[in-house]
Amino acid sequence: MIKYAILGFGTVGGGLAEVMADQKEKLAAAAGQSMELGYILVRRDYPDSPWRDKLVRDFAVIESDPDVAVVAEVIGGVGAAYEYSRRAILAGKSVVSSNKELVAVHGAELAALAKEHGVSYLFEGSVGGGIPLLRPLCRCLAANRIDEVYGILNGTTNYILTAMDTQGQTFADALKKAQELGYAEADPTADVEGIDACRKTAILADLSFGGNLDVTAIPTRGITSVTPADLELAHALGYTVKLLGRAARAEDGCFAFVEPHLIPQDHILASVNGVMNACAIRGSAVGEVVLCGPGAGAHPTASAVAADIADAVRHMGSPMIPDLGAPNGKLLPAEALCSRWYVRAQCAPEDAAGAFPGAAPVYGVSGECGFITGPMDRRALEARLAAVDGRAAYRVLA
């Protein structure tokens, strides 16, 4: 009998306690032995909670209990979460986490510490919520050189873009609705500015290319500038707009960036709507696989964290530590990556075709037009935008 502890009793922490109880037998089979909830670390009382006997306020109680083999960190942020994760590993306990900020910033350091102390450090829930994603990337696709990962990695922005697309809402209206439904925070900055997607992109890039990238160096552009006109014109051109995190292998480093993209309407990612997430992985042997599902939420995220707890217990003595790589991997400038572009502009058809040979603009209700360019890098694009009175430009996927 092994004990585990949950750090944090918010949405994910509560969901995790429920899921671990609900599927206790199945998880025991996966872990190879039964597992008992030892403690939940909280900051206040919950007198009515079914787990009130397990609540503790002092991490030292967990740290010093030799029966606790695994600690699930679902606090979030890089303060207490970082400190407790370190202390748990130093105390010889495996740590599992759904905290993308912590993994993106301190993951490689914690992984190295875990290796030194012979314990697992797993974080399936940090990217893609409940979607099986990191284990497939690292284990199932171990026979592949990973060449690219890209996906819809943030449910809030995907909800907003879907609402703008299908209901013609403005960004502000769609955001307000998302906040009412609990899909967006009161301060939505981390989601709508792409910061959350950036952290997940960093984790995917590190696992794929081993660069342990500095998250603050990853070019990140959110969806606040996307207008109803962009969605209208994208549709008319045969595309839809999605915020993508992308990371690609290159000869002398890797690309990693977060930007709105136009996706062809018949591409699988174009069907991923609302709060759903999806991630495509391109590998040398497999070609391309796409994994889709709920990218957030109490139970989906708990599903991922619970599987990590079972895996950590299963591998006591032979720890599982996904390789985030060595620091200072080379991040190439995203501007240099060629692609086709969507341009929203105010110009006559001949001006568009003059500046961008072959461009065939379609016109929207506002009188603005949209068209798709040939492949070029961002510098070449920007040099020509003035000639068409360009108001927006987004990359086209494929």
**Residue 57 or 145 with smaller CB distance to its own copies:** 145
Q: Among the candidate windows 173-181, 189-197, 301-309, 333-341, which touches its own copies by CB under 8 A?
A: 301-309
Show the binding pattern over residues 121-150: x = contacts its own copies (CB under 8 A), - = does not: ---x-----xxx--xx-xxxxxxxx-----
Token code pair at residue 77: 């942020």
Show the binding pattern over residues 25-64: x = contacts its own copies (CB under 8 A), - = does not: -xx-xx-x--------------------------------
Active site residue 115: no
- Residue 72 lies near its own copies (rule: CB under 8 A): no
- Residue 366 lies near its own copies (rule: CB under 8 A): no
Alpha carbon separation from 243 to 115, 118, 264 (Å, rounded): 35, 38, 13
- Residue 302 lies near its own copies (rule: CB under 8 A): yes
Nearest Cα to Cα of residue 119 among 310, 304, 312: 312
- Residue 398 lies near its own copies (rule: CB under 8 A): no
- Residue 326 lies near its own copies (rule: CB under 8 A): no
**Residue 270 or 369 with smaller CB distance to its own copies:** 270
- Residue 300 lies near its own copies (rule: CB under 8 A): yes
**Residue 271 or 346 with smaller CB distance to its own copies:** 271
Query: Residue 179 CB, nearest distance to its own copies (Å)?
Result: 22
- Residue 254 lies near its own copies (rule: CB under 8 A): no
**Residue 145 or 330 with smaller CB distance to its own copies:** 145
Q: Among the candidate windows 21-29, 109-117, 227-235, 241-249, which touches its own copies by CB under 8 A?
A: 21-29
Helix (H) or strand (E) run with residue 306 in it:
helix 298-314
Ramachandran bin of 220, using left for φ above 0, alpha for ψ from -120 to 50, beta for the remaining angles: beta
Show the binding pattern over residues 268-297: x = contacts its own copies (CB under 8 A), - = does not: x-xxxx---------xxxxxxxxxxxx--x
**Residue 133 or 381 with smaller CB distance to its own copies:** 133
Cα distance between residue 337 and residue 180, in whole Å = 38
Candidate list 26, 200, 242, 330, residue with the active-site label = 200
- Residue 266 lies near its own copies (rule: CB under 8 A): yes
Residues in 215-244 at the binding interface with its own copies, rule: CB under 8 A: none
Spatial contact of 278 and 263, defined as CB atoms under 8 Å apart = no
Q: Among the candidate windows 48-56, 150-158, 189-197, 265-273, which touches its own copies by CB under 8 A?
A: 265-273
Label the pairing between strands 121-122 and 94-97: parallel
- Residue 167 lies near its own copies (rule: CB under 8 A): no
Spatial contact of 224 and 192, defined as CB atoms under 8 Å apart = yes
Residue positions annotated with a catalytic role: 200
**Residues at the contact surface with its own copies, assessed by CB under 8 A:** 15, 19-20, 22-23, 26-27, 29-30, 32, 124, 130-132, 135-136, 138-145, 266-268, 270-273, 283-294, 297, 299-300, 302-304, 306-307, 310-311, 314, 318, 323
